Structures are given as structure tokens and as C-alpha cells.
Amino acid sequence: MTPTVSASGLSLRYGGTRALDDVSLRLSPGVTGLLGPNGAGKTTLLRVLATSVPADSGAFTVLGHDPGTPAGRQEARRRLGYLPQTPGFHPDFTAFEFVDYVAILKEMTDRAVRHREVRAVLDGVDLSDVRGKRVKKLSGGMRQRVALAAALIGDPGFLVLDEPTVGLDPEQRMRFRELIAQAGEGRTVLLSTHQTEDVAMLCHRVLVMAGGRILFDGTPAELTARAAGRVWSSTERDPGAKAGWRTGTGSFRNVGSPPAGAELLEPTLEDGYLLTLDDAEVPA
Ligand SMILES: Nc1ncnc2c1ncn2[C@@H]1O[C@H](COP(=O)(O)OP(=O)(O)OP(=O)(O)O)[C@@H](O)[C@H]1O
Ligand SMILES: [Mg+2]
């Protein structure tokens, strides 16, 4: 499939920290998950791709536009939606006013058309009933949905979501998954998250980052397969385990190098992720 976002050699340093270290990637329509430990460089990568900070070196294109040029940057910005890790709400704005404000920044000048679109995106994230409520009076989950609505303004072809499901209860997370899956139909979505289940359930592709580098790029099934034969059950804690814990049934679930004849268990995507970090000697 032709990539909609394509990057090569992106690097960015903050003082002595290599936040991005020679990152290259190609994204296509659908939801791509971005996993990595705290400080891996996920937010930095999303900020660069959302054109909110420039990389020190490297290049990328968004839907055929080169954000390295002023004209290309403007075109790319018109076509992308960004939900930052900490959305900067004006707390006294209502949900409607906040999304309308973003729509104005997106150069939607016709008031009637704009208001129709603001109502439509708020409706899409089930916030019609509270659109007149001040953002500061909404729950955390509702606020995340306001931020998603704002990112969806203008029907962007590239949607950048930085940990949108953090702090949500299981029901809200499920609802958010539905919304993200819907958003990923025909759009390129890059979703940073610490929730390996979200990646297993939503994503057609997953990237694992650590230390500013991409350690893995493949399908969720391929990431899970990295842990095949490396998860086992035992009655005592196994010395060969990188991690092991007593489960609710009383037996130990171990991840690492099993002894001969061990009772192997079905791996999860989280096992594959943790072993990928471990193989690269990155502390999870
Ligand atoms: N504005 C900044 N100034 C200085 N250092 C920064 C800045 N932003 C990020 N860093 C550093 O760059 C590295 C990558 O940070 P980044 O926020 O991209 O990580 P992350 O993967 O998003 O982590 P988390 O999972 O905690 O959100 C970290 O070492 C961080 O301390
Ligand atoms: Mg982050």
C-alpha cells in the first residue's frame, strides 16, 4: 500500500538526550500503535510528525506534503489532527467553544459551516448532551473525548493520538477503542499508548520504540510471536525467568528462557513487547 506518511532519518536532541535517533517509518491507512517505556521518544516523534516541533535532521512527508517547507507545512497542518498527551484546554471554554476555537485555527472561516462541523464531531464522540458545559466541569473521560473531537475537526487524513486512553475506566476505554477504530477507517492513525491490549485489539501494525529508536515494526501477531516458547507455567518461581509472578490460580507465570520440558503458555502481545525491550537490553 502507498504510505500516507513517510519519514527517514529523523533525529532530535534535547541537550545530551537523543529523544529521536535516526527514525525512519512509513505509515498507511488504519491504526498503527506506538509502544515504548517512559522517555522512549514517543511524544517527541508524534510532535515532530504533527509539525509542532522541527527535527534537527531527517525529512518526512504527510499525505504528499513536505513540512520542511513553509507551504508544505501549511498543507500538512490542514490535513492532520493532533491529540497531545496533555491537551491545553482553556478551562472556562465550553466543549463547543473549545472545538470551535480549534476549527477557527484550522481556517474554517464560514461560521455556519464551521458550527455544523463542530456539532457533528461532538456528536460523533457522544458529547452532544454536554456541548454547552464548561470543560473544567467535565469528567476526565469526557475531556479526552473533547480533545478527540478537536483532533477530528476538518476530517484529517492523518490523526496523531498521544495516549488518549490514559486514566479512563474500562467502559470508557472500550468506547474510545470504538471511536479510534472508526477514525482509522480510511485514515492514517498513529496511536501512542502504554496499553498493550489497545494495540492487540485495534492496530494493524505496531512500532516499539526505546531510547529514541524503533526496535520493532510489524504486525501485532508478529510482536506476540516474539514471545512464542518463552512463556511458561511452574509451581515455584523459576530462576530462568526475566519476570515471573504467582497468578490467582497459585502457579507461577514466567517470561524469559524456559527450562527443558517446561509447560509452555500462550504468549500475549505484552509478553512480546517486554521481551523485545529485554532483548534490546532496555529497562521496561
Ligand atoms: N522539551 C523537552 N526538553 C528536554 N528534554 C525533553 C523534552 N521533551 C522530552 N524530553 C526528553 O526526551 C526524551 C523522550 O521524551 P518523550 O516525552 O518523547 O518520551 P515518551 O516516550 O513520550 O514518554 P512517556 O511514555 O513518559 O510519555 C526523554 O528523555 C525526555 O526527558
Ligand atoms: Mg509521551
Q: Is the CB of 187 under 6 A from ligand 1?
A: no
Residue 64's pLDDT band, with cuts at 50, 70 and 90, is: very high
**Percent of the chain with pLDDT strictly greater than 90:** 80
Contact predicate 12/19, CB 8 Å: yes
Residue 170 predicted with pLDDT over 90:
no
Residue 237: the pLDDT is 84
Confidence of residue 19 (pLDDT cuts 50, 70, 90): very high
| pTM of the predicted structure, to 2 decimals | 0.94
Strand partners, 57: 11
**Mean pLDDT for the stretch of residues 26-45:** 97
Cα(52) to ligand 1 centroid in Å equals 14
Note the pLDDT tens digit of each residue in 200-252.
999 999 999 999 999 999 999 999 999 999 999 999 888 889 888 999 999 99
Is ligand 1 within 6 A of the CB of residue 32?
no
Taking the CA atoms of 105, 109, 115 and 120 in sequence, report the sign of the dihedral they define.
negative
What b-and-e string marks burial along 143-171, b requiring 16 or more CB atoms within 10 Å of the CB? bbbbbbbbbbbbebbbbbbbbbbeebeee
Look at domain 5-219 and name its CATH class: alpha beta
Question: Which ligand ends up closest to the CA of 39?
Answer: 1
Please work out whether the CB of residue 40 comes within 6 Å of at least one atom of ligand 1: yes
Q: What is the mean pLDDT of residues 128-142?
A: 92
Given this model, what pLDDT does residue 283 score?
Answer: 66
* Closest ligand to Cα 12: 1
CA–centroid distance, 191 to ligand 2, in Å, is 11
Pocket mutation for ligand 1, best pick of 11, 23, 42 (most atoms within 8 Å of C-beta): 42
Question: What is the predicted pLDDT for the residue at 197?
Answer: 93
The residue contributing the CA closest to ligand 1 atom 4 is 14
Is the pLDDT at 102 greater than 70? The verdict is yes
| Position in ligand 1 atom list of the atom nearest CA 42 | 21
Q: For residue 1, name the pLDDT band (cuts at 50, 70, 90).
A: low
Ligand 1 near 19 CB (within 6 A): yes
195 lines ligand 1 (CB under 6 A): no
pLDDT of residue 2: 75
Kindly list the domain boundaries of the chain, sorted by start residue. Answer: 5-219, 224-279
Per-residue pLDDT at 22 exceeds 80: yes
pLDDT of residue 165: 87
Per DSSP, the residues of the chain read ---SEEEEEEEEEETTEEEEEEEEEEE-SEEEEEE--TTSSHHHHHHHHTTSS--SEEEEEETTB-TTSHHHHHHHHHTEEEE-SS----TTSBHHHHHHHHHHHTT---HHHHHHHHHHHHHHTT-GGGTTSBGGGS-HHHHHHHHHHHHHTT--SEEEEESTTTT--HHHHHHHHHHHHHHTSSSEEEEE-S-HHHHHHH-SEEEEEETTEEEEEE-HHHHHHTTTT-EEEESS--TTEEEEEE-TTSSEEEEE-PPTT-EE----HHHHHHHHHHHTT---
Hey, which residues does 210 pair with through a beta bridge? 213
Enumerate residues 6+ apart whose C-beta is below 8 A from 115.
100
Distance between Cα 236 and ligand 2 center (Å): 37
Note whether 124 and 131 are within 8 A (CB). no
Residue nearest to atom 31 of ligand 1 (CA): 39
pLDDT over 80 at 87, yes or no: no
Q: How many CB atoms lie within 10 A of CB 13?
A: 14
Report the percent of the chain where pLDDT is more than 70.
Answer: 99
pLDDT tens digits along 249-264: 999 999 999 999 999 9
Q: Which of 15-29, 89-103, 131-145 has the highest mean pLDDT?
A: 15-29
Rounded CA separation 177/194 (Å): 14
Say what the pLDDT of residue 284 is. Answer: 62
Mean pLDDT (the chain, rounded): 93
